[in-house]
Amino acid sequence: MVFRRRAARAKARAGQPARTGFEALDRRLPMAEGARALLRKAFPDHWSFLLGELALYAFLVLVLTGTYLTLFFDPVTAQTVYHGRHTPLSGLPMSHAYASALHISFDIRGGLLIRQIHHWAALIFVAALCVHLLRIFFTGAFRKPREVNWIIGVTLFMLAMLEGFAGYSLPDDSLSGTGLRTANTIVMSIPVAGTYLSFFLWGGEFPGTDLINRLYGLHILLVPGIMVALITVHLILVVYLKHTQWSRRGSTNRNVVGRPMYPHFTAKSAGLFFMTGGVLTLFGALAQVNPVWEYGPYRSDQVATGAQPDWYVGFLEGALRLMPPWETNLWGHTVLWSVLIPAVILPGLFFLVLYLYPFCEKWVTRDGTEHHLCDRPRNRPTRTGLGAAGIVFYAVLLAAGGNDVTAFGFGVSVNALTWFFRVALVAGPVLAFLLTKRLCLALQSEDRDALLKGEETGEVAQDPSGGLDEGRRGLSADRRYRLLVRDVPEPLRPPEGSTRLARRQRVRLALSNWYYRDRVDLPVTPEQRAHVAELTAGPERGPDD
């Protein structure tokens, strides 16, 4: 008993400073009220909502490992002679940047492991961010009131590509130097201003003396700072606007259903963080990536065979290889279309389409309602087809970026393979759009049959006359709810009595008809239709408004 009372008194004394500190903060800041609301915030259970957290935790690993690497890296292009532990390169002239990368890999305890974890974390971060954006696109989670968060996500994706390219270029090895040579060509292809920008960025003619030092500042300070600010705003908006949610019993367009942040979501999220860190550590320890010592120091008069960039900028390499050698001479200036179109105009159009798509779809549907229920991709066949077409377009460019390696491996002509990719770049997205749209309509038809006949049991019965009948059973209430509660706009119709419409209205009507003409109507009664309209009505208005 004595020991128990002493333990209780010690526990009380230990907890007193924490209570005192919390009370002092709570008198000055809304600590208790804010913490109570945050800890009771509802988070959805579906696994797809963890994709954004996977990107966040990969970013945290990047910050931690990058901070460690910053202590030892020297971003100087001045030449030195290497006398480190990697004897195959001993005595070779190289830049201080490349020598410090070798020093980190072979002389710093744990340096190679941290380097490889950092590189793998960068690849996983961009991949998770990309898949997260695709999830948002296919489920319609970019619609009102989340347009700003979509813009932030696209900006983060663009900054992640820039950050990855900057970090990839810092070691000044033969592979990264080849990438910088390509980047210099892209900058110089910009009409009028290209040569001035190249001299300014590189500090003279390529390879210059200033770019790596400037990329280092971008890589460790400016771009990460902007990304941290955007991620903070993104998380604040997620808390304020709440998550979207899948249609299921109890979930409507006016409520949020999920597990509270504490303890359920906290435990799940913490587990994901430790799993992400553990997997990245295993990758860094067991899977070699970016072995700069095998490439050697960069020399501007040498180009490595089979040089390939990281996957997220591989589409630029593919676009450059597929573009015909077009150029125009105007008033003594050469416009290099073979570089300007694939490496400047194409990425610009790509991100412009991503930024504007939520507003374009809103304009086509004339929909000002808030949306908090996720769309099933099959219920929006045109949007899903466009997304599939974009994925195929990107995949063809990515594959084309390694046409020389593929041709060598399979023993085919590089020219023939290039023409194959050119045809696939045009025909592939069109076929992907048509096939995906038909698949979505087929899945809608399957939903209709399930509502009419029930779901298949997998059993086949034979009647006395020899006929076969597949076994079916009625749908569960949860699945019936998931199939029936959907929000699919009707195509816009011209105003009654209108004989002549403005061009803007005609374009909107044509696009609306193209978007929502093809659909499979589900068998619902008038009462069910009214109930669905009530469940999918926005928070700001009722279904009859």
Place of tokens 């040089």: 307
**Mean pLDDT for the stretch of residues 253-262:** 81
Could you give the C-alpha distances from 508 to 137, 289, 361, 488, 517, in angstroms and in order?
21, 50, 10, 17, 13
Q: What are phi and psi of 469, to 5 degrees?
A: -140, 125
Residue 459 contacts by C-beta under 8 Å, 6 or more apart in sequence? 470, 471
HEC string for 5-72: HHHHHHHHHHHHHHHHHHHHHHHHCCHHHHHHHHHCCEECCCHHHHHHHHHHHHHHHHHHHHHHHHCC
Task: Pick the closest to residue 242 from 230, 229, 227, 253 (CA basis).
Answer: 253
In tens, the pLDDT along 225-245 reads 999 999 999 999 988 888 888
**CA-angle at 340, arms to 338 and 345, nearest 5°:** 125
Residue 139 contacts by C-beta under 8 Å, 6 or more apart in sequence? 48, 244, 374, 375, 376, 377
For residues 95 and 64, give the distance between their C-alpha atoms in angstroms, rounded to a whole number. Answer: 26
In DSSP terms, 460 is beta-bridged to 470
For residues 421 and 314, give the distance between their C-alpha atoms in angstroms, rounded to a whole number. Answer: 14
pLDDT at 545: 40
Cis peptide before 145 (omega within 30 of 0): yes
Cis peptide before 207 (omega within 30 of 0): yes
Question: 542 pLDDT band (50/70/90 cuts)?
Answer: very low
> Mapping DSSP to helix (H, G, I), strand (E, B) and coil, where does residue 224 land?
helix
Domain extent listing, the chain: 1-33, 53-375, 376-457+472-537
In tens, the pLDDT along 469-493 reads 777 888 888 888 888 888 888 888 8
For residues 89 and 99, give the distance between their C-alpha atoms in angstroms, rounded to a whole number. Answer: 10
Query: Is it true that domain 53-375 has CATH number 3.30.360.10?
Result: no
For the beta carbon of residue 540, count every other beta carbon within 10 angstroms: 12
- CB contact at 8 A, 400 and 416: no
Percent of residues, the chain, with pLDDT higher than 90: 54
Dihedral angle computed from the Cα positions of residues 201, 203, 204 and 208, in that order, rounded to the nearest 10 degrees? -100
**Mean pLDDT for the stretch of residues 304-328:** 87
pLDDT at 310: 85
Q: What is the value of pTM for the model shown? A: 0.90
**2 vs 82, which has greater pLDDT?**
82
Could you give the C-alpha distances from 142 to 151, 246, 358, 376, 461, in angstroms and in order?
9, 14, 6, 14, 47
CA 330 to chain centroid, in Å, comes to 40
Residue 54 tokens read as 């996977």
Residue 444 tokens read as 């809608």
Residue 485 tokens read as 């509660």
Helix 174-188 crosses helix 194-202 at what angle (to 10 degrees)? Answer: 150
In tens, the pLDDT along 261-299 reads 777 788 888 999 999 999 999 999 999 999 999 998 988
> Mapping DSSP to helix (H, G, I), strand (E, B) and coil, where does residue 308 land?
coil
In tens, the pLDDT along 397-432 reads 999 998 888 998 899 999 999 999 999 999 999 999
**511 vs 8, which has greater pLDDT?**
511
- Above 50 in pLDDT, residue 544? no
